[in-house]
Structure 1
C-alpha cells in the first residue's frame, strides 16, 4: 500500500561566522576603455558569487554587466575575503565590492561634474553614460576615464566590510553572533510504500527570505540544489563506520540523489531587503538545505502516523518501524 503525507520544515540561519570577525575586502578599478575590473578573494565554487559581485559593481558604476571582469580568489593579487562558507559571500564580499565601487564612482563623478560645470550631487552614471539629473549629459563614462587618465587621476576604489557582531559570553552564551539572518519554510509531499519502505518525494515547495535577490535565477538554482541535498540527507546518505573504518567509501555504496530522485521543486523567493546588505541582499547558500530533511521526515510521519528520530529514512528503517508499530498495536489490543 502507498500512503501520502505532507510535512513542513522551518528554519532561521545566521549569515556569516558565529560571533567572530569575518571581513572581506575588494578593489574596483575603471580601465582605460571604460570597462571595470573587480579584485576579490571570494572563491566561486559553483554558487555564482562572481556573477553576483559583477552585478553589484555594474549597478553601482552604471556600466553594462558585460563590461565587468571579476578576478577572484587569486592569492597573488586579490585581497582576503574569508572562506566561501557560512552563506556569507553575497552579504560580506558583496558589501566590500559595493564600497569599493562607490569610491571608484566618486572619482568619475567628480571629474564629470568639473567638465560639465555642475555640482557632483547632480551627476549619476547609467548605461555607460554620464547623466545630469534625469537626462543624459552627452558624455560617456569612457570619455571621463580618458580625461582622468590625462590628468593622472586614478579611478581605483577599495572597500572592506565586517559584519557587526559580538563574541558570545562564555558564561551566559549571550551576544550578537550574526548581523543578519535568513528565514525559510519548506513543504514536502511524499509517498511511502508500506511494503517496501521506499519513500518517494513527490514535490517540495520552498519559500526563502533572501533579502534582495541580486540574481533570481542563481537564487532559484541554489534553492533547488539545496533541496536535492536535503533529500540525500533525509533518505539516503549515511556514513557507516565499523571499528573506526568507513564501510561505504565509494559512490556505489554511499548513496546520493541523482536526477531521477529529484522531484518537482517550486522555489519561492521572498524579498525583505536587509538594510545592512548590498542592495538589500543576504544569503541563500546553506539555508536552502536546512529545512528539507525536517519537512520530509514530518511528511513521512503524516503518511504513516509514525514519528522517526533517526536519519536517513532508509527502506529498512521504515519497514522496521512499520513492523514495530503493528506489533505494538497488536499487543495493546490483547
Structure 2
C-alpha cells in the first residue's frame, strides 16, 4: 500500500504518536535486518505486522516505566496523541517523550522494540494435495471500455473501472495511486510493451526512444473502488495491493476488444497490426462461408 508511508503510519498508530515522529529506514542493508525480499505484494502485510509487534514491545516498556509515575498498573495505560494516559482518565497523563527519557536515562531501559513476522502457512499434504501456501489472498476485478478502429486495428482504452480488496486501506490516497499505476502498467502490457530481438539475439528496442510505453496522454478515465475487507491477520486489517493492480488489466482490455470487433487476441501486446490481421481473417472467413451457407 506504499511502504515508506504506510509502515510509518502503522508504527505511529500503535505507539500513539504522529506520523511525523517516525523515521523509516528503507533499503539499507547496513542498518536494516535480513529479509527475503519485497515480493508477492507482502510488504504492508508482513513488514507491517513485524512493525506493529515491535511497536507493541516498545510501548510495553514505556507503560512499565510510566506506571509507577502515574500510580497505576501498566495494563491500565494507553498511548494517545503523544501522551501516555490512564484509561478513562485522560487528564492523568505524561508526554511520551518524557517517559522515553525516564526509561533511557533513569531506568536504563531504552524503549526499543524488535519483532519478526512469518505468515502462518500449512505445507501441502502429499496424499491429498491440500495445504495453505499463503496466509491470505487479495481479490480484484477490472472492466475496460475500448474503441477499435476496424480499418487500422488501432485500440484506444477510453475507460477503466477497478475494484480491489486490500483489507484495510491504511492510506486510501496511496491505494488509489497504486491501482491507477497498476492500470497504467497493464495498458502498456496489453497494447504496447514488447522486447524485440534480431536473429542474433540482440535487442532492437533497448531504450525509451523505441521501446513503446504508455504516457499520461494514453491514460483513460479511471474509476477506482477500494473494497475494504478487514483481514484479521493483517496489521490493522490491511493486505497488499501492489502487484494485483496490474493483473486483470490486459485480460479486461482483450475481452473488450473481442466484444467490440469479435476477434480474440491471444498474444500480447495486442498491437494494431495483430488486431487488424485478426479482423481481416475474421471477415475473410465470413465472406468465404457465405456461398456455402446459400
TM-score, normalised by the number of residues in structure 1: 0.83
Q: For residues 314 and 173 of structure 1, do their structure 2 counterparts lie closer, same or farther at Cα, with a shift above 3 Å needed?
A: farther
- Residue of structure 2 equivalent to 1:147: 102
Mapping 1:205-216, distance limit 5 Å: 205-216=161-172
Deviates more, 1:222-231 or 1:192-201: 192-201
2:173 counterpart of 1:199? no
2:283 counterpart of 1:329? no
- Residue of structure 2 equivalent to 1:6: none
Q: CA deviation at 1:183?
A: 0.2
Q: Which structure is higher in strand share?
A: 1
Q: CA deviation at 1:332?
A: 0.7
TM-score, normalised by the number of residues in structure 2: 0.93
Q: For residues 172 and 235 of structure 1, do their structure 2 counterparts lie closer, same or farther at Cα, with a shift above 3 Å needed?
A: farther
- Residue of structure 2 equivalent to 1:122: 76
- Residue of structure 1 equivalent to 2:270: 313
Classify the secondary structure of the residue corresponding to 1:99. Answer: helix
Q: Distance in 2 between the 1:232 and 1:170 partners? A: 40
What 5-or-longer segments of structure 1 have no aligned partner? 1-46
Q: Distance in 2 between the 1:209 and 1:61 partners? A: 27
Q: CA deviation at 1:203?
A: 0.9
- Residue of structure 1 equivalent to 2:231: 274
CA contact (8 A) 2:265 2:274 kept: no
**What's the CA shift string for 1:115-148, capped at 9, x where partnerless?**
1111222210000012211332231111211221
CA contact (8 A) 1:81 1:93 kept: no
- Residue of structure 2 equivalent to 1:101: 55
- Residue of structure 2 equivalent to 1:240: 196
Q: For residues 170 and 312 of structure 1, do their structure 2 counterparts lie closer, same or farther at Cα, with a shift above 3 Å needed?
A: farther
Mapping 1:35-184, distance limit 5 Å: 48-136=2-90, 137-149=92-104, 150-168=106-124, 174-184=130-140
Q: Which structure is higher in helix share?
A: 2
Q: Distance in 2 between the 1:133 and 1:52 partners? A: 27
Q: Distance in 1 between the 2:121 and 2:30 partners? A: 30
RMSD: 1.6
Q: CA deviation at 1:75?
A: 1.4
Q: CA deviation at 1:239?
A: 1.6
- Residue of structure 2 equivalent to 1:299: 256
2:241 counterpart of 1:287? no
Q: For residues 51 and 314 of structure 1, do their structure 2 counterparts lie closer, same or farther at Cα, with a shift above 3 Å needed?
A: same
Q: CA deviation at 1:167?
A: 4.3
- Residue of structure 2 equivalent to 1:187: 143
Q: CA deviation at 1:173?
A: 5.4
One of 204, 216, 221 as aligned partner of 1:264: 221
Q: CA deviation at 1:169?
A: 6.0
Q: Distance in 2 between the 1:165 and 1:241 partners? A: 42
CA contact (8 A) 2:70 2:93 kept: no
What 5-or-longer segments of structure 2 have no aligned partner? none
Q: CA deviation at 1:172?
A: 7.0
Q: Which one scores higher on RCO, CA 8 angstroms, separation ≥ 6?
A: 1
Classify the secondary structure of the residue corresponding to 1:188. Answer: strand
2:189 counterpart of 1:222? no
